């Protein structure tokens, strides 16, 4: 397809389960983009990851292999809300989202404030590490507690 035939990216046409920045980068001849629709779908594949992000992609909070998450989807959502309230207390709650994707270990997650990383285990943004919240975050992810607060 020639440049003249390419249709411009329209954010409003993006399916709800697709991370906008992931799709934009892939569409600009970046790496293959493989979004998933749910925690269960991400757990069903060996390279399924969970991405918690806020500020409409302005900050990646947590990246974790789905296979390591034993909490419920509701607890995962509560964790996202807690992290978002800490990082961006005045933002509209709709700016924080959970995305599920197929990504290889070592893959970078584009986003503001340094993005994120698919690490061996759970990757937690340095802001929360410095606040000594990595322990509580990990406990929520493994189902040992329901909230970090």
Task: Return the higher-pLDDT residue of 136 and 10.
Answer: 136
* pLDDT at residue 109 is higher than 60: yes
Q: What is the predicted pLDDT for the residue at 15?
A: 74
pLDDT above 90 for 55: yes
Q: Who contacts 49 (Cβ-Cβ below 8 Å, separation ≥6)?
A: 42, 63, 64, 65, 66, 100, 101, 102, 103, 118
- Note the pLDDT of residue 34: 85
Kindly report the average pLDDT of the chain as a whole number. Answer: 88
pLDDT at 4 over 50: no
Mean pLDDT for 81-100 is 96
How confident is the model over 80-108, as a mean pLDDT? Answer: 95
Over residues 5-47, the pLDDT tens digits come to: 544 555 567 778 877 667 666 667 766 778 999 999 999 999 9
Q: What pTM value is reported for the model?
A: 0.85
- Tell me the H-state helices in the chain: 20-27, 39-43, 73-87, 126-130, 134-141
């Amino acid at each position: 397809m020639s440049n003249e035939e390419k249709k411009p990216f329209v954010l409003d046409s993006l399916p709800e389960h697709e991370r906008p920045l992931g799709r934009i980068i892939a569409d600009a001849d970046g790496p293959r983009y493989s979004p998933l629709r749910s925690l269960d779908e991400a757990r069903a594949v060996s390279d399924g990851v969970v991405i918690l992000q806020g500020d409409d992609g302005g900050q990646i909070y947590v990246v974790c292999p789905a296979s390591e998450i034993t909490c419920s989807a509701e607890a995962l959502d509560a964790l996202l809300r807690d992290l978002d309230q800490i990082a961006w207390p005045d933002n509209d709650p709709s700016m924080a989202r959970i995305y599920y994707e197929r990504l290889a270990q070592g893959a970078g997650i584009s986003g503001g404030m340094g993005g994120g990383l698919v690490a061996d285990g759970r990757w937690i943004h340095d802001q929360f590490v410095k606040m000594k919240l990595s322990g509580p975050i990990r406990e929520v992810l493994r189902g040992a507690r329901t909230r970090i607060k």
